[in-house]
Amino acid sequence: MIAVDVGGTFTDVVGWRDGKILTTKVSTEYTDVAAPVLRGAERLGVDGSTVFNHASTHGLNAVITRKLPKIGFLTTEGHRDILDMGRVWRPSDAMLDPGWRRSFGDAAKPLIDRYLRRGIAERMLAGGDVLFKLDEAQARAEIETLARCGVEGVAICLINAYVNPAHELRLRELVREIVGDVPVSISSEVSPLAKEYARASTTVIDTLMKIIYSDYTDRLSAGLTGLGFTGALNFADCAATLVPAEHAMAKPFRIVFSGPAAGTVACAHFGKLTGQIDLLCADVGGTSCDISVVTGGEPFVNTSFELEHDLVVNALANDISSIGAGGGSIVRIGAAGEIQVGPDSARAEPGPACFDRGGTTPTTTDTCLMIGILDPDGFAGGEVAIDRSLSQRAFESLETPFTLQQRVRYAYEMAVHNMAEGVFNVAIKNGVDPRDYSLMAFGAAGPMLLPAVLDAVQCKEVIVPPSPGLFSALGLLSADQVFTVNRSAYLMLDAANAERVDVLFAEMEDELRAQVGDGDVELQRSMDAHLVGQSWETPFIPVPDGTLDADALAAMVAAFHDTYESRSDNRFEAMPVEGVTFRVRAVLKTDKIEYPKLPARGDEPLLPVGTRTLRYLGDLSDGGDGDQTATVWDRESLRAGDEIAGPAIVHEGLSTTHVGANQSATVGEYGEIVIRRNH
């Protein structure tokens, strides 16, 4: 089995063959994203592999940087500005800022410029009846305008089309007749759910992803075939569940956030293996720190997520918070003369100053190289040469009265503080006490930086899993194949609507069986519902199997009240319940990676491979360098049960673990390094 995670800085490729984990890391290329994927696949060898599982931030980065194709948007006349208005929500830190603008709005960087958003004369009522018929002559004129503007695709979202898609279906025919064979997404197929803006933004993202990923997928598939791959190509969705590539390309909005989600699944799988089912997960790469929560061995899943503030996508997604804190985070001097780190990043190009690729500003990677945590001779498995003198030159170029020792020390402390704050905020947001949770540190920079947050976050311990630099990619070898169908229908959950609800679930299950065929399939039913009069739903209410009669709907109402109480600590049984979104998931169990157990130490002694001086971490008050002497260990030589006292450096091919001066580490039976505070 092979899996790949395309990140903003590196492309991680992992394999599972003959009971061994194979890994390699390749620099991501923005001009040809498929090329490093194929290079990594060639290194590991794909001949004979049964699956090639793929996750990527390629589409996400295109949205964030606004390097997007030109597309058009058709909507009901009078609603062309729905994409600009969003939900009219402000982030909490912008409540009193008169200059704040929505990132995707016309005043900033719109996904679709206003002249490419056209209103269509038609109107469908909420019950599905036609109020105004589609004016085909007017529609043709608007579509011809888009054709003259040279759009590469068209997104269509009409009011109440999720109830009756007739007008959207006809508009798609007209677009293909007038504009030609371009990608067209209609909201009634992409996201047949209530709430117009979220449905519109999801449809726009789907159209963009069709253009961005279609050629990429073709080149990837052809390249893998050329390397001898004959297995199944799967793409991970935003919940890091797998779907065949052809299904993913039918609705590619579901894969836009797949990269970060894979890490959460990897944590859940490995945590169950080691008995750690309550986890704070932190994936620190070159650009960001992606933080999530696993409780009881299961990730927290949302029914939608935001690519940017208020830019909503209707897709099941692992709940992940990202902050601009990674190995490539840029160190600079703020307006008040303070040291700042991030959120902007040097990325893969030009990269940190020590990469010698044109970068002249220091980054967190330069900070760790200056301290001595990183080994200039073995960085990224020897794939990337780094030069400490370039890092020093970058720090010396900062305009500040701080000494060099202070610049490096404060940059390190700020990087650690940013991550500690991010982890703590996610814990509070999810209502968990970090003292009851272990922190899983992965990503190439996670083991290097996250052990230092132990005191600030007060979590139980930091766990560094095997192959932490490619752990997200390993999550793709821990995931099931899942197909999902959902429908919105505002229905009171009472005996009068039992037959309608039963028919709705039967239709969705028939659709899923047509997609997945025969086999060992587990169908999971759920719904999103609310108390009558509420604006927002309580998601993932369990729905019983079999025929849904009056008794079954009564059980659904009881399940709603139980779930509502568990989330809000309130119960309103006297109020009627209304179903909004009904959902069925088909889960196909897949072969998963099996982490090999590490043998216990025999007669050979536990010995470090050397020592290293860590600068700037000790006392700087005497004007010295604050040196600490750290033992250096080779992770491949460690055995289950080994104990290491800090300060220490554990070196492996694609990552470095730093055990602090007041910490100690123990090696677990699957090779995990568990770091705890000394009491």
Write out pLDDT tens, residues 345-355: 887 778 899 99
Q: Which amino acid is at 659?
A: V
pLDDT in tens, 263-307: 899 999 999 999 999 999 999 988 889 999 999 999 988 888 888
Separation of alpha carbons 79 and 38, rounded Å:
44
Work out the percent of the chain whose per-residue pLDDT is above 90.
68
Q: How confident is the model at residue 6 (pLDDT cuts 50, 70, 90)?
A: confident
Q: Per the structure block, which two tokens stand in for 82?
A: 């729905």
Given a cut of 70, whether residue 669 has pLDDT beyond it is: yes
Given a cut of 90, whether residue 572 has pLDDT beyond it is: yes
Question: What pTM, to 2 d.p., does this model score?
Answer: 0.85
pLDDT at residue 48, as a whole number? 86
The answer to whether the Cα torsion of 24, 30, 33, 35 is positive or negative is negative
Given a cut of 80, whether residue 614 has pLDDT beyond it is: yes
Q: How confident is the model at residue 379 (pLDDT cuts 50, 70, 90)?
A: confident
pLDDT at residue 381, as a whole number? 61
Q: How confident is the model at residue 382 (pLDDT cuts 50, 70, 90)?
A: low
The answer to whether the Cα torsion of 585, 165, 552, 541 is positive or negative is positive
Given a cut of 90, whether residue 373 has pLDDT beyond it is: yes
pLDDT in tens, 159-192: 999 999 999 999 999 999 999 999 999 999 999 9
Given a cut of 70, whether residue 435 has pLDDT beyond it is: yes
Q: Per the structure block, which two tokens stand in for 318?
A: 């692992």
Average pLDDT over residues 515-532: 88
8 A C-beta contact, residue 72 and residue 112: yes
Average pLDDT over residues 447-457: 94
Given a cut of 70, whether residue 659 has pLDDT beyond it is: yes
pLDDT at residue 536, as a whole number? 87
Tokens 């080149």 correspond to 219
pLDDT at residue 380, as a whole number? 64
Work out the percent of the chain whose per-residue pLDDT is above 70.
99
**Angle ∠(159,164,168) on CA atoms, nearest 5:** 65
Q: What is the dihedral of CA 215, 217, 218, 219, to 10 degrees?
A: 90
Average pLDDT of the chain, as a whole number: 92
Higher confidence at residue 501 or residue 321? 501
Q: What is the dihedral of CA 276, 480, 315, 446, to 10 degrees?
A: 40
Q: Per the structure block, which two tokens stand in for 514?
A: 């047509």
Tokens 């007008």 correspond to 167
Q: Per the structure block, which two tokens stand in for 437?
A: 């949770």
Given a cut of 70, whether residue 392 has pLDDT beyond it is: yes
pLDDT at residue 154, as a whole number? 98
8 A C-beta contact, residue 472 and residue 266: yes
Average pLDDT over residues 564-577: 92
**DSSP codes of every residue in 187-204:** HHHH---S-HHHHHHHHH
Specify the 3-state DSSP secondary structure of 263: helix
